[in-house]
């Protein structure tokens, strides 16, 4: 890994200047805030009420064994939707113009078992800057050694079957986050290009909020519910498998589909492309016309718009996508889209198959 990674080719930066100017003009013309509107607040309340309701229903013990299992799965999906729709925007500073509101909503990430501070480094700083660059973007390192997602990764014999088992591993993403990932990332010397130098309070926050999560989702159910340890374990794993699968698929369908690039820097540590153009080359949308996908995925089905304008609330992405698409075409740049979730899933499957078959 190079000591410093830079994006060059200033001649191609005119695209971003142009599209940013047009996006600014859109908000000025329609006299709109870049942040949450009533619709955004409405679904925020809906997801939070769903979270509290499902958690309380499970802890009440009123449901039978199968009802508890279904509720656990629904809670896992709701956790993912809260992450996509509320925490993600808040931690990017996109939810509200008020920093305190963003910080408060970002703290909800702790109730999902994830550290908002670590996320701010791994996702906001590293992934958004060095998208899909092997050795720099750690978000594309899914089960290293087991799942091969770029041609620059080493080939291993068992990866010829990865198109079968990769999806099960995606389902473990949330569990890994809660029990392992945050600790590993926090105590790494470097995350991508970011040198770890954490404030003392973040050491306290990491362990304090993790302990709070373990109490809420492990201790209290075991204390108050008349269930055996294996019933609890089944429910806990079901919740996390659903949550992890939803989280993993939305990320993979945005960055690991046919057409997305995994470029490498040159010997001098330079990327021979402007940053905004790099985002177009490494990111793809899916289900762009689906209101259902936009509602539940927090706009992350329009990942291109998110990567170019992460500080704008996702509720505005449908309008921005028209501007970005037209401007990209004007500059002769790629604008990658899969028309449906199923089409994106098939494309990702073919990538897994192709990269895995290299080991055959």
- Predicted confidence band of residue 3 (pLDDT cuts 50, 70, 90): very low
Beta strands per DSSP E along the chain: 6-7, 190-191, 194-195, 270-271, 284-286, 336-338
pLDDT tens, 264-283?
888 777 887 889 999 999 99
pLDDT of 236 above 80: yes
Q: What is the DSSP string of 17-44?
A: HHHHHHHHHHHHHHT--SS--HHHHHHH
Q: Which of 181, 132, 161, 166 is nearest to 249 (CA)?
A: 166
The pLDDT score that the predictor gives to residue 359 is 60
Q: What is the pTM of this model?
A: 0.91
Phi, psi (rounded to 5 degrees) for 79: -60, -45
Which pLDDT score is estimated for 2? Answer: 40
183-215 per-position pLDDT tens digit: 999 998 877 777 778 999 999 999 999 999 999
The whole-chain average pLDDT of the chain stands at 91
Write out the DSSP string of 294-344.
HHHHTTGGGHHHHHH-TTS-GGGHHHHHHHHHHHHHHTT---EEESSHHHH
Least confident of 41-55, 86-100, 212-226, 254-268: 254-268
Give per-residue pLDDT as tens, 50-95: 999 999 999 998 998 899 999 999 999 999 999 999 999 999 999 9
Q: Which of 307, 245, 306, 315 shows the shortest CA–CA distance to 86?
A: 315
Nearest to 114 by CA among 203, 198, 183: 183
């Amino acid at each position: 890994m190079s000591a410093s990674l830079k994006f060059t080719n200033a001649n191609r930066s005119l695209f971003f200047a142009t599209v940013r100017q047009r996006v600014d003009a859109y908000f000025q013309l329609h006299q709109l805030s870049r942040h949450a509107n009533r619709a955004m607040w409405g679904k925020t309340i809906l997801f939070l009420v769903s979270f509290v309701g499902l958690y309380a229903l499970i802890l009440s013990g009123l449901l039978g064994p199968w009802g508890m299992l279904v509720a656990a799965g629904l809670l896992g999906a709701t956790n993912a939707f809260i992450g996509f729709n509320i925490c993600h925007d808040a931690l990017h500073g996109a939810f509200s113009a008020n920093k305190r509101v963003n910080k408060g909503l970002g703290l909800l990430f702790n109730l999902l078992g994830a550290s908002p501070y670590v996320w701010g480094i791994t996702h906001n700083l590293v992934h958004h800057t060095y998208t899909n660059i092997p050795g720099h973007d750690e978000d594309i390192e899914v089960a290293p050694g087991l799942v091969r997602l770029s041609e620059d990764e080493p080939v291993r014999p068992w990866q010829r079957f990865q198109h079968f088992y990769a999806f099960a591993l995606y389902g473990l993403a949330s569990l890994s986050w809660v029990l392992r990932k945050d600790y590993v990332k926090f105590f790494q010397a470097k995350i991508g290009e970011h040198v770890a130098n954490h404030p003392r309070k973040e050491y306290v926050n990491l362990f304090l909020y993790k302990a709070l999560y373990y109490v809420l989702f492990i201790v209290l159910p075991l204390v108050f519910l008349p269930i055996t340890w294996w019933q609890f374990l089944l429910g806990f794993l079901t919740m996390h498998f659903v949550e992890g699968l939803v989280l993993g698929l939305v990320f993979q369908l945005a960055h690991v589909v046919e057409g997305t690039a995994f470029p490498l820097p040159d010997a001098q540590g330079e990327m021979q492309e402007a940053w905004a153009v790099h985002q177009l080359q490494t990111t793809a949308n899916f289900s762009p016309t689906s209101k259902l996908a936009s509602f539940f995925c927090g706009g992350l089905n329009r990942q291109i718009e998110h990567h170019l304008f992460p500080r704008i609330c996702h509720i505005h992405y449908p309008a921005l996508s028209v501007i970005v698409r037209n401007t990209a075409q004007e500059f002769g740049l790629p604008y990658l889209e899969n028309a449906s979730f199923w089409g994106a899933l098939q494309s990702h499957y073919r990538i897994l198959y192709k990269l895995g078959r290299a080991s055959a």
